[in-house]
């Protein structure tokens, strides 16, 4: 059986706790049990162990913990893009989509970042993708301007824009 | 390409790296996702199919995939998927997938790209021997080329965004499969594992996460992916692996000098059982083959026997045994078939030449 905290080592410490009449079980490896202070079973709540998700109360009402004025019975956080909730994260230990990283930045991402060497990405950047996006953007602007110029019967301007678009098309082709 | 042609293709053409006696293989995998699409684990079937059609064409068009094996997972049988797992070409998780997932790999079986595994893209490069940097370069080029068509989910702060937070940042997991029989015999391997764990690297068994260490094979990989450049992660891993290689070499020298009887006994017993057994589990086979491999490294067996021996590590795995049979083999039938295959392949192998011991001592 694997450790619930690090998902990595063999669990050797098995804990059962009753919180508000509900039984909770956690399996931990020796390292994580030490790190989480499990040696003193009265001194911690199992929910705290659930990978930085906060205590039970915070889980059910995440809005309370936030400093913004949200009514206490506000629904749990939900990703506007994919509909993923914090409860889903608790269950799957995976995110729903890339936007979830924005939605759950505070509650999930920040605590788990501590498992890494740092909190700022310093590795590879998709430079080609960015360059391509910028060219696409410029192309869009030029096309919009061209439509406008034709509409306003500014044929000289339109001819210049058409040349600029052709040049950019050439660049786009060589970029790919 | 048909599965049968792909799987029976020659593996020997793969360029071997340094220390291939101890480092079985080097592997680097990158996790990538397409912007604005739900991750495979959360996506509905229609979403997965849609993203698959976005990803697969540019992957198929890669120059590396000129003569590729490219297949949707629902078109592969359970045995075929398992064969790919046993060759470390797809993950166990990916083998469990069906409609909405695909796999594309080159003929040399050095590059393998899984579509809709845990992330939209899991691409890996794997080669024999110790060559993490070359392997990284190969997969990095493919990744860069895919950027021309695909918009990756990327955040300047968190790097490449992945389904699991443990992969965020570089999305890179680099690993080496090490054969450490002398450290195991010398009972030093646990010390090594603990030391490696302490510096933030993971030690796993033959099939990665959650798998058992068999055949004295250990996979060492980086645990963290955020806050460090790819080169630094690889550099750190390289240094540690170099040290482990040195420890294994020292342990082999110590065994030869101080525990030669134990060593020869282990290798001789492995030889005897492999040559004469009529039923053998895959775990037993791996553990015994490991000692024959060590014996070859130490010169107890002719060097030209290394390749057939290495082939047995893969060919005696359950799905590889199954592939020759039309009906499903039971565990007992597999164990018998495994023992037969080993006996046939090792028939010409002479017994361990212990005069080597005297020379070493």
Report ipTM for this prediction.
0.83
Could you state, in order of their start, the residue ranges of all structural domains in chain B? 3-251, 259-360
Q: pLDDT at position A132, please?
A: 82
Rounded to the nearest 5°, which phi and psi values hold at A48? -60, -25
Q: pLDDT at position B112, please?
A: 97
Q: pLDDT at position A1, please?
A: 75
pLDDT grade for A116, boundaries at 50, 70 and 90: confident
Answer for the pair B219, B203: CB distance below 8 angstroms, yes or no: yes
> What is the percent of chain A where pLDDT is above 70?
65
Asked if the model's pLDDT at residue B77 lies above 50, the reply is yes
Using CB atoms and an 8 Å cut-off, which of residues 38-97 of chain A contact chain B?
81-82, 84, 88, 92-97
- Give per-residue pLDDT as tens, B96-136: 999 999 999 999 999 999 999 999 999 999 999 999 999 99
Q: Does A98 touch chain B (CB under 8 A)?
A: yes
Which residue on chain A is closest to B231 by alpha carbon?
A123
Closest CA to B251 of B317, B183, B187: B183
When pLDDT is averaged across residues B74-86 and rounded to a whole number, the result is: 95
CATH topology of domain B3-251: Creatine Kinase; Chain A, domain 2 (3.30.590)
pLDDT grade for B356, boundaries at 50, 70 and 90: low
More confident residue, A35 or B24: B24
pLDDT grade for A34, boundaries at 50, 70 and 90: low
CA angle centred on B233, ends B247 and B162, rounded to 5°: 130
Q: Three-state DSSP class for B118? A: coil
Q: Which of B150, B210, B227 sits opposite A2 (nearest CB)?
A: B210
- Give per-residue pLDDT as tens, B203-225: 988 766 666 678 999 999 999 99
Q: pLDDT at position A174, please?
A: 64
Q: Which of A3-7, B205-209, B346-350 has the lowest mean pLDDT?
A: B205-209
Q: Is the dihedral of CA B279, B284, B290, B295 positive or negative?
A: negative
Rounded to the nearest 5°, which phi and psi values hold at A36? -85, 0
Answer for the pair B133, B234: CB distance below 8 angstroms, yes or no: yes
Q: Which residues 6+ apart lie within 8 Å of B55 measured at CB? A: B34, B115, B120, B121, B150
Q: pLDDT at position A5, please?
A: 74
Maximum CA extent, chain A: 81
- Give per-residue pLDDT as tens, A8-20: 787 777 666 555 5
Which residue on chain B is closest to A119 by alpha carbon?
B227
pLDDT grade for B14, boundaries at 50, 70 and 90: low
- Give per-residue pLDDT as tens, B255-270: 999 999 999 999 999 9
More confident residue, A53 or B151: B151
More confident residue, A102 or A50: A102
Answer for the pair B201, B176: CB distance below 8 angstroms, yes or no: no
Q: pLDDT at position B305, please?
A: 87
pLDDT grade for B70, boundaries at 50, 70 and 90: very high
Which pairs with CB-CB distance under 8 Å and at least 24 residues apart come from B273-278? B274/B342, B274/B343, B274/B346, B275/B343, B275/B346, B275/B349, B276/B343, B277/B339, B277/B342, B277/B343, B278/B336, B278/B339, B278/B340
Asked if the model's pLDDT at residue B45 lies above 60, the reply is yes
Q: How far is the alpha carbon of A162 from chain B, nearest alpha carbon, in Å?
A: 25
DSSP collapsed to 3 states, A83-99: CCEHHHHHHHCCCCECC
Give CA separation, A86 vs A60, A93, A143, in Å: 9, 10, 43
Answer for the pair A93, A108: CB distance below 8 angstroms, yes or no: no
Asked if the model's pLDDT at residue B13 lies above 70, the reply is no
Contact B148 A175 (CB under 8 A): yes
Q: pLDDT at position A49, please?
A: 44
> What is the percent of chain B where pLDDT is above 70?
95
Question: CB count, 10 Å around CB of B268?
Answer: 16
More confident residue, B31 or B2: B31
Answer for the pair B28, B96: CB distance below 8 angstroms, yes or no: no
Q: pLDDT at position A47, please?
A: 41
When pLDDT is averaged across residues B63-86 and rounded to a whole number, the result is: 94
Q: How far is the alpha carbon of A48 from chain B, nearest alpha carbon, in Å?
A: 18
Asked if the model's pLDDT at residue B175 lies above 90, the reply is yes
Cα gap B311→B11, rounded to integer Å = 10
Q: How far is the alpha carbon of B176 from chain A, nearest alpha carbon, in Å?
A: 18
Q: pLDDT at position A109, please?
A: 80
Q: Which of A87-101, A103-117, A156-170, B117-131 has the lowest mean pLDDT?
A: A103-117
Q: pLDDT at position A71, please?
A: 39
Q: pLDDT at position A46, please?
A: 45
Q: pLDDT at position A40, please?
A: 44
Q: Which of A94, A114, A137 is the mutation pick for testing B, counting most B CBs within 10 A?
A: A94
More confident residue, A132 or B271: B271
Write down the mean pLDDT value for chain B. 92
Asked if the model's pLDDT at residue B341 lies above 50, the reply is yes
Find chain A residues with C-beta within 8 A of B165's C-beta. 95, 108-109, 112-113, 115
Asked if the model's pLDDT at residue A70 lies above 60, the reply is no
Does this model's pTM top 0.90?
no
């Amino acid at each position: 059986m694997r450790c619930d905290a690090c998902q990595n080592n063999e669990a050797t410490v098995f804990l059962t706790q009753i919180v508000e009449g509900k039984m909770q079980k956690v399996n931990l490896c020796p390292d994580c049990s030490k790190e989480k202070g499990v040696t003193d079973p009265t001194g911690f709540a199992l929910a705290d162990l659930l990978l930085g998700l906060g205590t039970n109360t915070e889980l059910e009402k995440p809005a309370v913990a936030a400093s913004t004025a949200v009514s206490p019975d506000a629904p749990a956080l939900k990703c506007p893009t994919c509909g993923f909730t914090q409860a889903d994260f608790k269950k799957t230990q995976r995110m729903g989509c890339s936007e979830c990283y924005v939605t759950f930045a505070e509650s999930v991402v920040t605590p788990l970042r501590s498992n890494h060497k740092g909190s700022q990405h310093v590795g590879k950047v998709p430079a080609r993708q960015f360059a391509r996006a910028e060219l696409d953007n410029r192309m869009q602007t030029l096309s919009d301007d061209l439509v406008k110029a034709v509409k306003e019967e500014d044929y000289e301007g339109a001819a210049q824009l058409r040349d600029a678009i052709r040049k950019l098309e050439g660049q786009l082709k060589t970029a790919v | 390409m048909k599965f049968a042609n792909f799987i029976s293709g020659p593996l020997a053409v793969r360029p071997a790296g340094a220390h291939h006696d101890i480092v079985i293989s080097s592997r680097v995998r990158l996790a990538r996702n397409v912007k604005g699409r739900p991750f495979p684990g959360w996506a509905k079937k229609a979403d997965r199919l849609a993203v698959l059609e976005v990803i697969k064409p540019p992957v198929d068009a890669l120059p590396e995939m000129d003569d590729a094996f490219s297949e949707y997972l629902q078109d592969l049988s359970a045995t075929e998927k398992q064969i790919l797992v046993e060759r470390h070409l797809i993950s166990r998780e990916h083998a469990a997938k069906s409609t909405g997932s695909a796999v594309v790999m080159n003929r040399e079986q050095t590059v393998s790209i899984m579509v809709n595994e845990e992330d939209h893209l899991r691409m890996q490069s794997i080669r024999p021997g110790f060559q993490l940097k070359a392997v990284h370069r190969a997969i990095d080029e493919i990744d860069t080329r895919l950027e021309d068509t695909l918009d990756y989910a990327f955040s300047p702060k968190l790097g490449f965004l992945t389904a699991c937070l443990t992969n965020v940042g570089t999305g890179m997991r680099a690993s080496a499969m090490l054969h450490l029989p002398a450290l195991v015999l010398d009972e030093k391997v646990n010390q090594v594992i603990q030391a490696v764990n302490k510096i933030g690297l993971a030690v796993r068994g033959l099939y990665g996460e959650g798998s058992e260490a068999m055949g004295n094979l250990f996979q060492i990989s980086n645990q963290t992916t955020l806050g460090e450049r790819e080169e630094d992660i690889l550099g750190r891993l390289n240094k540690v692996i170099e040290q482990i290689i040195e420890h294994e070499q020292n342990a082999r020298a110590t065994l030869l000098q101080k525990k030669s009887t134990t060593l020869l006994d282990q290798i001789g017993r492995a030889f005897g059982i492999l040559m004469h057994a009529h039923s053998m589990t895959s775990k037993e086979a791996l553990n015994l083959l490991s000692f024959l491999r060590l014996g070859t490294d130490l010169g107890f067996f002719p060097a030209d026997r290394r390749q057939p021996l290495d082939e047995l590590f893969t060919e005696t795995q359950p799905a590889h045994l199954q592939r020759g049979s039309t009906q499903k083999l039971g565990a007992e039938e597999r164990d018998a078939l495994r023992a037969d295959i080993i006996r046939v392949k090792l028939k010409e192998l002479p017994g361990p030449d212990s005069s080597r011991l005297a020379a070493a001592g």
